[in-house]
Structure 1
């Protein structure tokens, strides 16, 4: 595909997303209908689409319209490309620009929904503008070394053999940032044999902050794919790891992943007994991950956020019932919004007096990877 053809494809996909189709679904639909597109073309179109979604407000302003065409004009203009050379109308390139297209201004625009900005500012204070600015860029790729099978040094060497460059985080040696050739990861023996897992830095830091001791019974109450279960499992000997999710289908791949990682995990639809640690990574807005899923920030509404906070409150109270005396409850979200984080914890501690706060963390893209929240509480 020519550069112009890729832009036309991105315009088509963006129009589908703006009409209400989720980004991944729109990209998959285009890919299946465009068998002529190679892997490089699909990756390039995906990058164009996700960049436009991360910067939707500013690119629409620069391009003159909140349409796929307007977003691409604004994005290419911001990047300094020659629009006339790309919008030629020849072959599969988009039609030439008409008077007025690409003449707008995006000064001082924030690429967040207008209704959310006051809540964003209240939650992040003097960091609000800086975090919003970072959210306009692509997120880094992080790996977690599975210490049941490898060390950071052996993983780095193994990845290098596949021309994948990675470097350890300064404070968490098992966290590796991929610096080059990330798209080769899925075919690397290091990844296929369970020596590493894809996991952002922030949840890795959160799992490292949990009070893990040998022989503990640990419940991952909202396990999903089991990323945190597998991150906790290597931290001490004799752990009993139990994974639960309200939708068992989300855990379908966990037994296979656990075997590949060499971890012992029990998957259950109905956890029983008391646990020394219960981890509840609850459903949330994902506001801390909007660099990776930028279309979700435009689909969030005040109503859907209210539904999420009600669900979080209910899950937190259900998870607390499984914490034994003297045990800990870890509440996690991949959000940076107070209503999903500190406000939830304050209300919970008021309602459930036999829990007391232990520690609280909020990571943002300014100091880690994704935005991520952890509140650790102890049952007296």
Structure 2
């Protein structure tokens, strides 16, 4: 495919997304119908689509319309390219420009791709970092790996990745965190990954586990485990007994295979089988995902005040339920990939007001300006 044909493909995919499809569905359907597209073409179209979704408001303004064509045109203008060289109408290129394609220069929240209703709470949470964080969320997220200490040292993992042609740099957020600087697309077929030496995991997510007080012999519950990334990290950090649970068991279907590859043991439990008396319970709760919008840009535009309030109720309910099954003297870890105080500091304050005999020795925010996703972690310790 020519570069211009890739733009036309991105326009088609974006129109499907704007009509109600998810990004993954739209890209998969386009790929199935476009057997002529090679792996490089598919990757390029995917990048164009996600760039446009991250910057939907500003690209639509620059491109003159909230449409696939408007978003792609806005992206061309945002990159400082001459649209006339890309919208030629020749071959498979997008049609030539017309007066209807005139755009405008975005300013304020429009330029930052910030939903207007979220600007005030985000400014309250981020302070002077608001503009910088919103600009960071307009760009692609770095790719991070977690070194699996159950199988390899950091040095061993780096050497194995280098043999596969994958270059990485150490990241200060966690001793296990590596930022991929070259050939990220090779990771999942690399021997280092297939052999369980490394896992894909954001550096801030790893920092949450690093902040979790784990010692040999403890019983640990990952209450909202999803695919099990944090359960795997905890099992590798200390010789602990890890149980993974999720309200939707389907999310945990890959945990046994991932644990086998990593060389660790994780017990997958249904809600009725969780039990009580855990030394550590991690609650990485459902949230707005505002700290990871560059990975899930559709989530930014889909979030509503009603959905946020529903999430807050779920978060409070999870905290209260987890507190009941924690052992005396144990640690309850609360984490979100959100930057909103309503989901973070306010939830901790609410929990402490509802539950007596608890301490809060740690609260920590991780900002996208540190390179990784926006995250929040708080430790809640129960009196013995």
TM-score over 0.5 for the pair: yes
Q: The residue matched to 2:169 in structure 1 has which SS?
A: strand
Q: Give TM-score scaled by structure 1 length.
A: 0.97
What is the match of residue 210 of structure 2? Answer: 208
Separation (CA, whole Å) in 1 of partners of 2:314 and 2:16? 30
> Is 1:326 matched with 2:319?
no
Equivalent in 117, 120, 127 of residue 118 of structure 1: 120
Q: The residue matched to 1:366 in structure 2 has which SS?
A: helix
Q: The residue matched to 1:285 in structure 2 has which SS?
A: coil
What is the match of residue 145 of structure 1? Answer: 147
Which consecutive residues of structure 1, in runs of 5 or more, have no partner in the other structure? none
> Is 1:287 matched with 2:285?
no
Separation (CA, whole Å) in 2 of partners of 1:379 and 1:284? 24
What is the match of residue 248 of structure 2? Answer: 247
> Is 1:161 matched with 2:159?
no
Task: Give the paired residue count.
Answer: 379
> Is 1:370 matched with 2:377?
no
Check whether the contact 2:173–2:204 (CA below 8 A) recurs between aligned residues: no
Check whether the contact 2:142–2:371 (CA below 8 A) recurs between aligned residues: no
Task: Give the 5 Å matches for 1:192-271.
Answer: 192-237=194-239, 239-269=240-270, 270-271=273-274
Measured after TM superposition, the shift of residue 171 of structure 1 is 5.5
What is the match of residue 184 of structure 1? Answer: 186
> Is 1:170 matched with 2:186?
no
Separation (CA, whole Å) in 2 of partners of 1:283 and 1:101? 40
Separation (CA, whole Å) in 2 of partners of 1:140 and 1:192? 21
Equivalent in 135, 148, 166 of residue 137 of structure 2: 135
What is the match of residue 53 of structure 1? Answer: 53
Q: Give TM-score scaled by structure 2 length.
A: 0.96
What is the match of residue 5 of structure 2? Answer: 5
Deviations 1:179-218 (A, max 9, x none): 0010001110100111000000001011001111111111
Check whether the contact 1:74–1:102 (CA below 8 A) recurs between aligned residues: no
> Is 1:351 matched with 2:354?
yes
Q: The residue matched to 1:362 in structure 2 has which SS?
A: strand
Taking a change above 3 Å as real, the CA distance of residues 195 and 124 of structure 1, as seen in their structure-2 partners, is: same
Separation (CA, whole Å) in 2 of partners of 1:330 and 1:309? 17
Separation (CA, whole Å) in 2 of partners of 1:60 and 1:202? 31
Separation (CA, whole Å) in 2 of partners of 1:364 and 1:172? 14
Moved more, 104-113 or 183-192: 104-113
What is the match of residue 339 of structure 2? Answer: 336
Q: The residue matched to 2:368 in structure 1 has which SS?
A: coil
Separation (CA, whole Å) in 2 of partners of 1:285 and 1:103? 31
Check whether the contact 2:173–2:203 (CA below 8 A) recurs between aligned residues: no
Measured after TM superposition, the shift of residue 107 of structure 1 is 3.2
Moved more, 214-223 or 169-178: 169-178
Q: The residue matched to 1:170 in structure 2 has which SS?
A: coil
Separation (CA, whole Å) in 2 of partners of 1:340 and 1:25? 29
Deviations 1:164-183 (A, max 9, x none): 11111235331111000100
Deviations 1:24-83 (A, max 9, x none): 111111111111111111100010011111111111111111111111111101112221
Separation (CA, whole Å) in 1 of partners of 2:172 and 2:277? 36
Check whether the contact 1:152–1:168 (CA below 8 A) recurs between aligned residues: no
Measured after TM superposition, the shift of residue 376 of structure 1 is 0.4
Taking a change above 3 Å as real, the CA distance of residues 159 and 15 of structure 1, as seen in their structure-2 partners, is: same
Measured after TM superposition, the shift of residue 114 of structure 1 is 1.3
Moved more, 325-334 or 97-106: 97-106
